[in-house]
Structure 1
């Protein structure tokens, strides 16, 4: 059986877990906690020297990088799915275009989350100018979603959710831990509510929601 190594607080880990569940691919979850350096253990390092999560083991084959893992599962098992349609090269290209964009744009949400929540916990100094730049970067991402990715569409690549939506949703949801004002961006906020309500996506956030209940009890996403 496939083994999936994740940290439930890791955005890309949640995205991969949600996709495997949506596709009903049997797998065993190996949960590690980056907070406690469990991804740096000799056992995990022997499997993946880069010590990064998520990671998938399919027999003797190891697959790293969240977007790569998602596509691998669909291609290797020849799964027919709107998440990444194997017979529609143009839709694949649209999805891949977002997934490439994600790494250097939407992923900036992590920087703001880290500065606001994690750095104070670790006793790390937060430089005001850096924090302001991170806020501006995230604002640009949301503005681009409003004016481009979601312009005239219910989802990033059309009328149905794809890998692009799941990856983006899991990334942005991290901001709920720092009480980010999603409602400043009504189009993106409505889209985010659609994607997080996909049962498998919501379930992948079950650990994150426990923290959100403490950090942001008035969150619109809590059931």
Structure 2
């Protein structure tokens, strides 16, 4: 199994965290985004969109982070704890996966991309989106629940963690959201769960 990865990417962190949580052996292939390796023909054969992560497991190739989470949970977690069988819980997991690729992308992810990677995203709007998302959804939900779905961590938590946990590095404070902070700490305390690395750790603060 191979994971094509970049340590700054919150999308890629979802996949690497799930592999670690499941205790799976895999080859970690770092894709040099700065040199444009993700747009080269050999990589585009695996991921036509030229993005990370990409998972290759035998003949199975997946190019989307939440698809990778779903695949790993179904293929390698026979207890089905990370993606519950219960239809209602499974539906709620899908709700949160959708949140991770829309609202979290438009908020915490956008702030980080704008701050460090010179992506043409309105930083102020991304900050506003982040606070709105924390106030209306995450903070009230986590005031009454330890996890996003059910009574144990699921791939919903893994999908939403990275960009939220890293958003303070982009200058967006989570001080007003103690329940979100406690949720981040619970995830980071799980056996095998890797904290997302900061841009400073990976790139010395350089984009």
Contact 1:169–1:196, Cα closer than 8 Å, also in 2: no
1:207 Cα deviation after fit: 6.4
Contact 2:127–2:172, Cα closer than 8 Å, also in 1: no
Structure number with greater Rg is 1
The residue that corresponds to 1:154 in the other structure is 146
Contact 2:4–2:28, Cα closer than 8 Å, also in 1: yes
- Which range moves more in the overlay, 12-21 or 44-53? 44-53
1:41 aligns with 2:43: no
Residue deviations 1:141-193 (CA, integer Å, cap 9, x gap): 1112112x324101111321111111111121231322431111111111112
Structure 2 runs not aligned, ≥5 long: none
Residue deviations 1:110-154 (CA, integer Å, cap 9, x gap): 2111222333xx8x7x8xxx333222111111112112x324101
The residue that corresponds to 1:18 in the other structure is 17
Root-mean-square deviation (CA), in Å? 2.3
Alignment of 1:123-202 (within 5 A): 130-143=122-135, 144-147=137-140, 149-202=141-194
Q: Hey, what's the Cα distance between the residues in 2 that align with 1:36 and 1:173?
A: 27
TM-score, length-normalised on structure 1? 0.81
TM-score, length-normalised on structure 2? 0.87
| SS of 2:16 mapped into structure 1 | helix
1:209 Cα deviation after fit: 6.9
1:88 Cα deviation after fit: 2.1
1:83 aligns with 2:64: no
| SS of 1:34 mapped into structure 2 | coil
Between Structure 1 and Structure 2, the one with more helix by share is: 1
Structure 1 runs not aligned, ≥5 long: 216-223
| SS of 2:34 mapped into structure 1 | helix
Structure 1 residues 92, 36: closer, same or farther in 2, change over 3 A? same
Q: Count residues with an aligned counterpart.
A: 203
Structure 1 residues 35, 57: closer, same or farther in 2, change over 3 A? same
